[in-house]
Structure 1
């Protein structure tokens, strides 16, 4: 699919999200888990989701190319129980593909999406592993 909902593959987008209060609920040497404030678990899902989203602790980790979200303070400074902010700084993206889910996708959280825009940061378009 190359077009849907007013978007076309190749479009440039500018996204951002104001920082929101969150809490670190767990850590490993390489990752931390944030109690995710935007979705709720889907009680009818075939997939279980515990309400958390993981982020790399290393600020130079390649995984940061796979998410627009950023944490304050820096993930390397956070520990379980710490309060933090999670948001998206203004980020320019290019739509790389569009996917339709029929029926809506069951990822374990609500709402179940019917479409997904796959995007890549403009400054990482040559990186085949970058994008979200």
Structure 2
């Protein structure tokens, strides 16, 4: 399936464990459980992912963290996932060759997803990378 702008899709990602490396009022940073740093890349990904904290207004990611972000401290282990969610496609792009973003395996596609409640708000979504290390599933909505 190659999604088009405006398509409604179900996005999910199986849970994985991650360790919290930093906690700020606006951000929680974890060691990303998927992918390996590509030291030969010109892009210097450090192996982490930053989640908007409780005081981050306007930022959104489809990922869920358990326990709640407000309960996490540096060194804690949490679970990161994307429970099945109905989202809208804001943009889709295929990468041939796979896109060099600083990690292995490099993604073969990217999909910008937006929650239904913000489908008409520009920059209200999140870019997800497909075909790489993250086991993200994108399926058409079948009602």
**How many residues of Structure 1 are paired with residues of Structure 2 in the alignment?**
126
The counterpart of 1:38, out of the listed 34, 40, 47, is: 34
Q: Can you give the 5+ residue segments of structure 2 that lack an aligned partner in the other structure?
A: 127-143
Per-residue deviation, 1:49: 1.3
2:21 corresponds to 1:25: yes
Per-residue deviation, 1:87: 0.8
Per-residue deviation, 1:14: 0.7
TM-score normalized with structure 1 length: 0.83
Show CA shifts across 1:77-128 (max 9, x none).
2110011111112211111222233443221112222321222112210221
Q: Structure 1 residues 68-77 or 17-26, which shifts more?
A: 17-26
1:59 and 1:15 map into 2 onto residues whose CA distance is 25
2:93 and 2:10 map into 1 onto residues whose CA distance is 20
- 8 Å Cα contact 1:59/1:75 also seen in 2: no
1:104 and 1:60 map into 2 onto residues whose CA distance is 32
Which residue in the other structure is 2:119 paired with? 125
Per-residue deviation, 1:70: 1.1
SS of 1:123's equivalent in the other structure is: helix
TM-score normalized with structure 2 length: 0.77
Cα RMSD (Å): 1.9
Structure with higher helix content: 1
Q: Structure 1 residues 53-62 or 117-126, which shifts more?
A: 53-62
Q: Can you give the 5+ residue segments of structure 1 that lack an aligned partner in the other structure?
A: none
2:113 corresponds to 1:85: no
2:25 and 2:91 map into 1 onto residues whose CA distance is 34
